[in-house]
Structure 1
Amino acid sequence: MRVAVVGLGVQGHKRRSVAGAELAATVDPVNPEAGYRRIEEVPVASYDAALVCTPDEAKLPILDYLATHRKHALVEKPLIAAEDQALAGLRDRARAAGVVFYTAYNHRFEPHFMRMRDLLQGGRLGRIYRLRMFYGNGTARLVRNSAWRDEGAGVLPDLGSHLLDTVLFWLGAAPASPFRVVSASRFENRAFDHVVLASAGPPSIELEMTLCSWRNDFKCDLLAENGSAHIESLCKWGPTSFTTRDRKLPSGRPDEQTEMLVQPDPTWVAEYDHFKALCERGGPGNLDNDLWINRTLRQLAEQALAS
């Protein structure tokens, strides 16, 4: 598969590296490394798919162009629109054109995230009582100094989109009750740099995201009827651990198993391979997930900005 990388920022450079010999073109309006300034300049016959790594406002017009010319697309998260119909229409045009549109949520390919999904699907833990996730970066100053990132709802669409997608990935569906904003803070930035969300459930869910962690970190605690499961860190920050605890009745110290990983981040290559496999077999894409994530983020942003 021949790919064009659209947007040569941090993510675009990662995507270009992973594409390797399959890279057909690079596009960026300002980066002199790019071969083209606009996707419309790239010869249509020279590529089969695009890896779209642009700022949010540029994504929808580019994806519309790609659907028109029957090109597959992997687009960096989040895929945001002011109205649901914009994403639903894009989904329908991609399907009609027979192409795959896939929004990249690379944490789905974290080994411990996949272990958590398999554990929950297997039913070993029984009824899930509570799920808490914390995602912290130390990038408040970098975001504040960015020409475009410190605006709108800030960390909410940036890290919150990952957490909402992880809820879908692990639970297999949107939670029973909507999320609400518990707190939204601007400690250092113009946009929100620390947000806490909650859903009453079942299961009860709490999502905390921040740019003020100083040490990048991810934590998850899942409490259930027959035990619990816990994740510490991501492969890119390693070491990362996955712990399961089997409940003792009526009480007592549980049996505990921990799997520890120290390895380079495997998610970028795994996600790219998954995208290519989807393209080869004709889908499915995942814009239905984006409809729920977009709607949820929009409602939460309205709550946060109104508070």
Structure 2
Amino acid sequence: MIKVIIVGLGVQGKKRLKYAKSDCVATIDPIVKSADFKSIYDVPVNLYNTVILCVPDNKKIKIIQYCINNKKNVLVEKPLLFNNIKEINSVKKHAIKNKVLIYTAYNHRFEPNIVKMKKLLESKKLGKIHSCKIFYGNGTAKLVKKSKWRDQGQGVITDIGSHLLDITNFWFKNKFKNYKLIVSNKFENKSPDHAIIIANSKKSFLNLEMSLCSWKNSFRCDVYAQKGSAHIDSFCKWGTSYFSYKKRVYPSGKPKEYNSKIRISDPTWLLEYKHFKKIFLNEQKTDFNKDAIFYKILNNFKKKDKYL
């Protein structure tokens, strides 16, 4: 039986509470008055077996280590930022030894049209991939600026950028290499609020653009390939999400189009929580391979860009 405590009742914590409410035995937040405890260290360890962690990035590792010591499973909100590879391996080894699961949450993997794109790619109907371009933007620059812990470090690159790295890793696994940060702007914030990342494989190109200065929430994806193309416009959380598959006509001509749309309430939070419960019950081992890949990419940007 899963017995959950939720640490952090900010925007993400409240969303997690909504879908884990029947399993939740306590909430923790140092400021929110309705929380049951102010600190995880005040919670009796026999009260729970699982932690949903929604705290600032610089507090995550310490709390995770405390959870591992007490043999508690953890769902931690992305991104999970380590200091170095040695730390990644140490935490992973400790988690496996104590038989606990540490799961980094990336809810966009469960977006219906993100899943639909993955299935289309796996079907090989598109053939060899030529390029993938994604733009993900929102208008939260001012909100981020007001937050001391959010407007620092790599800014939008670790916030939205980590989602884009995860989505493309979900679709293409480790196909793309040679990641480069070619644009990093601080239009309104102390930390980057707009950036562009590129990468490539032998004959494929990846372009990821992210922004906190897009005044209308936007997600657009274009995948062009040998036998056609596929496109996503928007997420369910903003209204209608559109998907389009265009089948190439030879030698040239208007492609055959297969269009669909979906309009439902954001299903990703519940779907991800169900997924976490499933792998928790199946006693899946902690795996930081994805986090290690992201660490190497993001750390390389930090080394090469003096502004980060």
TM-score by length of 1: 0.97
Match for 2:61: what amino acid?
L
8 A contact 1:180–1:198 mirrored in 2:
yes
Q: How far has the Cα of 1:298 moved from its partner?
A: 1.6
8 A contact 1:278–1:285 mirrored in 2:
no
| Distance of 1:18 and 1:301 partners within structure 2 | 36
1:293 is the counterpart of 2:294: yes
Match for 1:261: what amino acid?
I
**CA deviation digits over 1:49-87, x for unaligned, max 9?**
000000001000110011111111000000002212212
Match for 2:72: what amino acid?
K
Within 5 Å, which residues of 2 pair with 1:225-240? 225-240=226-241
TM-score by length of 2: 0.96
| Distance of 1:48 and 1:169 partners within structure 2 | 29
Question: 1:186 matched to which residue of 2?
Answer: 186
| Distance of 1:28 and 1:38 partners within structure 2 | 7
The change in CA–CA distance for 1:306 and 1:174 in structure 2 (over 3 A counts) is farther
**CA deviation digits over 1:236-294, x for unaligned, max 9?**
01210111011001000010011101110000000000000000001144421111112
Within 5 Å, which residues of 2 pair with 1:34-183? 34-175=35-176, 177-183=177-183
- Equivalent residue pairs, number: 306
Question: 1:279 matched to which residue of 2?
Answer: 280
What are structure 2's unaligned runs of at least 5 residues? Answer: none
Question: 2:17 matched to which residue of 1?
Answer: 16
Q: How far has the Cα of 1:173 moved from its partner?
A: 2.1
Q: How far has the Cα of 1:194 moved from its partner?
A: 0.4
Q: Tell me the SS of whatever aligns to 2:279.
A: helix
Q: Tell me the SS of whatever aligns to 1:79.
A: coil
| Distance of 1:174 and 1:92 partners within structure 2 | 27
What percentage of residue pairs aligned between the two structures are identical? Answer: 40
| Distance of 1:181 and 1:247 partners within structure 2 | 32
8 A contact 1:156–1:301 mirrored in 2:
no
8 A contact 1:150–1:189 mirrored in 2:
yes
Q: How far has the Cα of 1:174 moved from its partner?
A: 4.9
Match for 2:305: what amino acid?
A
| Distance of 2:304 and 2:80 partners within structure 1 | 20
**CA deviation digits over 1:100-132, x for unaligned, max 9?**
111000000000000111111111111001000
8 A contact 2:99–2:285 mirrored in 1:
no
The change in CA–CA distance for 1:284 and 1:220 in structure 2 (over 3 A counts) is farther
| Distance of 2:251 and 2:220 partners within structure 1 | 28
| Distance of 1:252 and 1:48 partners within structure 2 | 59
Question: 1:246 matched to which residue of 2?
Answer: 247
Question: 1:210 matched to which residue of 2?
Answer: 211
